[in-house]
Structures are given as C-alpha cells and as structure tokens.
C-alpha cells in the first residue's frame, strides 16, 4: 500500500474518530458539520452517514440541529442542507437524520393531511415499508397498521396480487415504488380495490416518465440486462407514462393526483427538499 494511500486512510479514520469524540462530548453542531462535509465530498462514505444519523439520536439535543433552513417532516429535524441521496447520489435529496428522500417527505406531508380524515379505528396496509415512514405510521395507528412484503421482513409475507385480507376490510393502503416491479399490475390494482372498504383509499407512487404518454411494458422474455437498459433498473418490468392514472381508473378507482403544485407552496418545496414533479396518486374505491 502506498504511503499516500495510507495517509489518506489515516486522515479519514481520524476525522471519524474526531466526530465520534465530538458527539460523545455533546458538541453536535461541530460533529455534524465535519461529517456533512465528508459526505458531500464522498457520498458513499457510509461510516460517516451512520455516525451522522446516530448524532440525531442523542438525548436532549432537540434544539441543536443546525440553521433550520431545511426541515424533514418525517423525523421533524431541521438542518442547513440535505445530503446527496438516491442511486446516483443526486444533491439535496437525503435527510441526514432519517434518510428520507424527496418522495418520502412529500408523502409524509400528504399523510399528515389525510390521516386525521380517516376514522379513528382505520386499518392500514403498507407494502414494502420505507424505514423513514413505517415507524411514524406504526406509532399513530398502533395495532391497526400492518406491513406486507413478498420477500423482505414484514408483518405478513404475501403477494400483492393475492393478499390474505377480506373483501371490503381495509381503510388505507399504501404502496410506493412497488407496482413497477409487479408483472401483472392491473391484477394487483384489482386486488387492492377488493380489500379496500367502500370510500377506502390507496396511496400510490410510481416512477413516471412525464414525456411518455403510453406506459412501456417489458417485452416477453426480457432479461435483467434488457430491463436495466430499458428502464434503468433490472427489476422494473415497465416504465409508467402519463396514462398511469387511466390504468387506476380502468381498475375501478376514482383518482385524485396530489402534486407539488396543488398541495404545497414553493417555499415548502425548498424547506422540505421536495421534487417538483413528484405525484402521489390517491385511488379511492367508489
Ligand atoms: Zn428525516
């Protein structure tokens, strides 16, 4: 190993050690500043990311979260900036404390408005639960909140197209960035509609290409390499276009689109670090 490489590694380790010591002494502003600068320069520095996240779990530090220009509705912390996030580490994307991305924060704002409107004993199903949202919902809804996933850890392991819930049994359903993975998404939409109570609603998010008017399906027999080339991810089986809403309506839902334009102010977009093209579809069982 070259001397230069060893020195860089040593200095990286020493700044982690320094940040750890600062956190232990309660000097959180300095520790967070040091760690944030490291992460901006090297977004894949997961050691620094973990330590920064831990700094927000320190007890008795509520008023010590930076300048407060940015704020996360998922964890209620505020910061001077968001960190790079997502697969390509896009700037201003990720909450330093709870790792929420733009779409999670937008959804959290929508949920804040919609949850009080549901009945006090409403049940909710959350598919492939996001860590930045699931704990909040579990705390709010307690034993009326269930997570489901086909492969990963969840309250119930099941397929979205065949769920072990009665017809007309659930008030609220949520699946974010899930349907683009499901081979027969129309079957999944019908199954979601089946389990919802009349007037029950599904909150859905999918990656959408706003320039595409017709959803593009994977060709029969497409390999993982084909999917990666076509859709940018080897486990996506389609690219949704602006006809996503039509698909929901064809599956029997009344659909309301929540966008940054009809839901939040330009100031909110800046403060909460939202993506202006983000949409949450609220599919209501008529
Ligand atoms: Zn957060």
Query: What is the signed CA dihedral for 243, 244, 245, 250, rounded to 10 degrees?
Result: 90
The pLDDT score that the predictor gives to residue 8 is 58
The pLDDT score that the predictor gives to residue 253 is 98
**Which residues fall within 8 angstroms of residue 7, CB to CB, at 6 or more apart?**
none
The pLDDT score that the predictor gives to residue 142 is 87
CATH superfamily of 102-285: Vaccinia Virus protein VP39 (3.40.50.150)
**CA–centroid distance, residue 208 to ligand 1 (Å):** 24
The ranges of the chain with pLDDT < 70 are: 1-12, 59-68
The whole-angstrom separation of Cα 136 and Cα 119 is: 18
DSSP label at residue 88: T
E-strand spans in 7-144?
A: 70-71, 78-79, 83-85, 90-94, 124-127
Instruction: Please report, for residues 109, 116, 233, 239, 258, the alpha-carbon distance to residue 113 in angstroms, rounded to integers and kept in the order given.
Output: 7, 7, 32, 29, 11
> Phi/psi class of residue 65: alpha, beta or left (left: φ > 0; alpha: ψ in -120 to 50)?
alpha
Assess contact for 95 and 82: CB atoms under 8 A: yes
The pLDDT score that the predictor gives to residue 62 is 47
**CA–centroid distance, residue 19 to ligand 1 (Å):** 20
**CA–centroid distance, residue 36 to ligand 1 (Å):** 15
Helices (H), 56-94: none
Assess contact for 113 and 80: CB atoms under 8 A: no
The whole-angstrom separation of Cα 106 and Cα 268 is: 10
pLDDT digits (tens, 9 = 90+) for 180-206: 999 999 999 999 999 999 999 999 999
**CA–centroid distance, residue 89 to ligand 1 (Å):** 17
**CA–centroid distance, residue 132 to ligand 1 (Å):** 7
- Among 274, 104, 261, 113, smallest CA distance to 201 is for 113
């Amino acid at each position: 190993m070259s001397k230069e490489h060893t020195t860089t590694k040593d200095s990286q380790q020493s700044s982690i050690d320094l940040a750890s010591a600062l956190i232990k002494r309660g000097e959180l502003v300095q520790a967070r500043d040091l760690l944030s600068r490291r992460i901006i320069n090297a977004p894949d520095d997961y050691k620094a990311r973990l330590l920064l996240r831990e700094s927000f779990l320190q007890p008795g530090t509520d008023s010590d979260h930076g300048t407060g220009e940015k704020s996360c509705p998922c964890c209620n912390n505020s910061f001077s900036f968001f960190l790079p996030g997502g697969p390509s580490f896009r700037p201003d994307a990720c909450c330093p404390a709870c790792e929420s991305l733009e779409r999670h924060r937008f959804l959290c704002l929508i949920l804040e408005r919609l949850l009080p409107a549901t009945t006090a004993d409403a049940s909710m199903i959350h598919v492939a639960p996001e860590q930045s949202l699931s704990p909040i919902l579990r705390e709010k809804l307690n034993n009326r909140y269930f997570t489901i996933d086909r492969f990963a850890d969840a309250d119930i392991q099941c397929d979205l197209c065949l769920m072990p819930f009665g017809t007309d049994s659930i008030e609220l359903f949520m699946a974010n960035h899930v349907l683009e993975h499901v081979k027969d998404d129309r079957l999944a939409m019908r199954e979601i509609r089946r389990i919802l109570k009349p007037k029950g609603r599904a909150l859905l998010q999918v990656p959408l290409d706003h320039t595409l008017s017709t959803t593009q399906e994977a060709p029969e027999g497409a390999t993982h390499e084909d999917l990666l080339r076509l859709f940018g991810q080897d486990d996506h089986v389609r690219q949704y276009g602006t006809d996503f809403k039509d698909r929901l309506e064809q599956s029997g839902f009344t659909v309301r689109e929540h966008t940054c334009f009809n839901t939040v102010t330009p100031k909110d977009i800046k403060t909460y670090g939202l993506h202006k093209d983000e949409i949450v579809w609220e599919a209501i069982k008529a």
